Amino acid sequence: MSASRLFFFLLLFSFPLHSSGAVTAGDLPGDTIWYMHADLEAMRTTESGSKIYAWFEDEVVEDISEETGIDLSAEVNSMTAFSDATNGTVVVIDGAITRESQERLLAIATMQAGGDIDLLEYKGMTYYHIGDEEDEGDWGNEPFDDLEDSAWFSFALDNKAILTSTEKQLQALLDSGGKIAGSGSHDGALFVLSADKSFVQAGMQADNMASEDDDWESNILRNTKQAAVLIADKDGMIAIEAQLVSADPKMAQAIGGIINGLISLQAFNSDLDPEIQELIRNTRVEVVDNTLSINTVIDPDTILTVLMD
C-alpha cells in the first residue's frame, strides 16, 4: 500500500464526507465525477444516528485507536471527498486533529514511503508531498486512483486536514481556508440529495460503470447517467433515499416496475422477520420521466440487528 493511500484510509476510518452540514450541488464543481460527504457529528448527536455510531465506535474506531494511538471519534467531525475532471481527487476533513495525531500520521506515511516525503511551504503554511510528482494528475477509472502514486496533504489550517492529487488544488484550498469552490447547479451537473440531518451523501456520474457483457445488469448500467444516495435522520428513524437518472425513460419505468413487483411479492411473506416486512412496506418507488426514486425508513435497531449478525 502506498503512503498516500494509507494516509487517506486512516482519515477515512474516522468516517465515517468543508464543515459539518449537508453538501449541496452548489458546493461542488460543475464537472464533479463522484462525491461523498459524511457527517460524523450529526450521527453522534441524533437519536437514530447515535445507535449506529455506537456500533461503529465499537467495531472500527477502537481498533484504529489501538493500532495508531489516534482517537478518531474525538478528532473528526465530518469529511467531504470528490473528484472532478479538472483537479482530480480532493478530501477535506473537519475536526480538532491534535498535534500528536498529526505527528503519528506523518510518521506512518514517512515509514510507508521509505522516508521519501517532501516538506514544503506555501505562504507560510506547511504541506507535504508523497510519491512521484511526475504522476500528478494520473487519473484512473476508480475513485482515489490518482492518490495512489502522488498525493499532497496539509494540516496547516485550524481544525482541517486536506488531501489532494494536485499541488495546485492543495494551494487553492489553503488560500480559501479549506472552502471548496463550487460552481452551482447547471444542466448536466451531478445532482446531490440532501436533508436537514444528513449522515451520508454520495453520488456519481455513471459513465464506464457497465461491463462489456450484454446482460440485463450491464444494460441497466449502460443506460444510467447518474446515481445518488442519501442516509439521514427522520424523526428518530433512518431514512434512505436513492435516485437513478436513466438515459432511457423506458428503462427507468422497467426497473421501477420490477422493484415494485418484488415489494408486492415479499410484503406479506410470513417467512420474513417482522422488521424486514415493515421495511418492505415502508419502501416507496416512484418514476418521473427518466428518474427513478426509492425511499424507505428503517428503525435503527433493525439496522443494528443486521450489522451484528
The model's pLDDT over 95-150, given as tens digits with 9 standing for 90+, comes to 988 998 888 888 887 777 666 789 999 999 999 998 877 666 555 556 777 887 78
Alpha-carbon gap, residue 94 to 17, rounded angstroms: 9
pTM confidence score: 0.82
Q: What are phi and psi of 253, to 5 degrees?
A: -65, -40
Residue 131 lies in a domain: yes
Mark whether 104 and 242 lie in a shared domain: no
Q: Residue 284 belongs to what H/E stretch?
A: strand 284-288
Q: What are phi and psi of 267, to 5 degrees?
A: -55, -35
Output the CA–CA distances (angstroms, integers) from residue 114 to 14, 69, 103, in the order listed: 25, 21, 16
Q: Residue 42 belongs to what H/E stretch?
A: helix 40-45
Residues 6+ apart with CB under 8 A from 54: none
Residues 6+ apart with CB under 8 A from 260: 285
Residue 149 lies in a domain: yes
Mark whether 46 and 136 lie in a shared domain: yes
Which of 175, 198, 231 lies at the terminal end of a domain, its last residue? 175
The pLDDT value recorded for residue 139 is 59
The range of the structural domain enclosing residue 54 comes to: 3-175
The pLDDT value recorded for residue 260 is 87
Residue 180 lies in a domain: no
Mark whether 26 and 91 lie in a shared domain: yes
3-class state of residue 292 by DSSP:
strand
Which of 175, 192, 223 lies at the terminal end of a domain, its last residue? 175
Length of the chain: 309
Mark whether 44 and 107 lie in a shared domain: yes
What are all long-range contacts of 52-57, with beta carbons under 8 Å and residues at least 24 apart? 52/199, 52/238, 52/300, 52/303, 52/304, 52/307, 55/304, 55/307, 55/308, 56/15, 56/16
Mark whether 304 and 247 lie in a shared domain: yes
Mark whether 139 and 212 lie in a shared domain: no
Tally Cβ neighbours within 10 Å of residue 165: 28
Strand pairing category for 150-154 and 125-131: antiparallel
Question: Of the candidates 197, 282, 190, 198, which has an alpha carbon nearest to the alpha carbon of residue 243?
Answer: 190
The pLDDT value recorded for residue 160 is 93
Residue 194 lies in a domain: no
Q: What is the separation of C-alpha 81 from the centre of its chain, rounded to a whole number of angstroms?
A: 6
Mark whether 211 and 167 lie in a shared domain: no
Residue 282 lies in a domain: yes
Instruction: Provide the mean pLDDT of the chain.
Output: 81
Mark whether 27 and 123 lie in a shared domain: yes
Cell of 126: 506547511
Cell of 130: 508523497
Spans of the chain below 70 pLDDT: 1-21, 113-115, 134-142, 184-186, 207-221, 309
Which of 155, 175, 195 lies at the terminal end of a domain, its last residue? 175
Mark whether 116 and 69 lie in a shared domain: yes
Bridge partners of residue 131, in order along the sequence: 150
Residue 25 lies in a domain: yes
Torsion of CA 127, 166, 22, 43, to 10 degrees: -60
Mark whether 110 and 244 lie in a shared domain: no
Mark whether 162 and 215 lie in a shared domain: no
Residue 158 lies in a domain: yes
Mark whether 241 and 147 lie in a shared domain: no
Number of domains in the chain: 2
Residue 188 lies in a domain: no
